Amino acid sequence: NLKKVLMSACLLGKKVRYDGGSLSVHDQLVERWVSEGRIVSVCPEVEAGMSIPRKPAEIVQGNGNTVLDGETDVIEKGGNVVTDDFIAGASIALELCKKFNIEIAVLAESSPSCGSSFIYDGSFSGNRTPGIGVTVALLRRHGIQVFSQHEIKDADKAIHAGPG
């Protein structure tokens, strides 16, 4: 039973970011995961129906957990509230994890969806702050280990811990 890994589509070279670009990771471990058939790719924001390109969005005065708890919102630059889209995207990512029995994810750092250690602070001024995105918050609530593209080795260790 091969352990699969959920991975941000932008890290796999897909041009799904808000600016129409990708964040391709070039790493032998990731290449091995691909050849082993472990990767399940997802872009929560695009899965939720958001366009490419789209306006940048940030969580205002909170993090993925406060968004899930209905305490704070995700706002696009300009003020449009997109909280529901971000929660929908997180739910789709969680469904994929359930479908493929996924317990490990590697997601793109600092995104309001995918950030696992940092997010932007909601002021649209380029300031990063410790925090997690909406998808990461939902996955962690369901026991899924989430790593960033800077922690590929740790993710690989998690894949090879125990059977599979």
Residue 105 binding ligand SF4, by CB under 6 A: no
In the set 5, 16, 88, 105, which binds ligand SF4 (CB under 6 A)? 16
In the set 17, 59, 60, 65, which binds ligand SF4 (CB under 6 A)? 17
In the set 114, 119, 132, 136, which binds ligand SF4 (CB under 6 A)? 114
β-pair type (57-59, 145-148): unpaired
Is the separation of the CB atoms in 102 and 145 below 8 Å?
A: no
In the set 4, 8, 25, 122, which binds ligand SF4 (CB under 6 A)? 8
In the set 63, 65, 113, 145, which binds ligand SF4 (CB under 6 A)? 113
> Which 24-83 positions form the footprint of ligand SF4 (CB under 6 A)?
43-45
- Separation between Cα atoms, residue 15 and residue 55, nearest integer Å: 15
56: exposed, middle or buried (Cβ count in 10 Å: 0-12, 13-18, 19+)? middle
Q: By C-beta, is 150 or 162 nearer to ligand SF4?
A: 150
Considering only the stretches 6-14, 29-37, 120-128, 143-151, report the one whose residues sit in contact with ligand SF4 under the rule CB under 6 A.
Answer: 6-14
Q: With CA atoms as reference, report the closest residue to 159 among 38, 43, 40, 41.
A: 38
Secondary element (H or E) of residue 160 = helix 152-160
- Separation between Cα atoms, residue 122 and residue 75, nearest integer Å: 8
Phi, psi torsion values for 129, nearest 5 degrees: -140, 150
State the nearest-atom distance from the C-beta of 67 to ligand SF4, in Å: 14
- Residues in the site for ligand SF4, rule: CB under 6 A? 8-10, 16-17, 43-45, 108, 111, 113-114
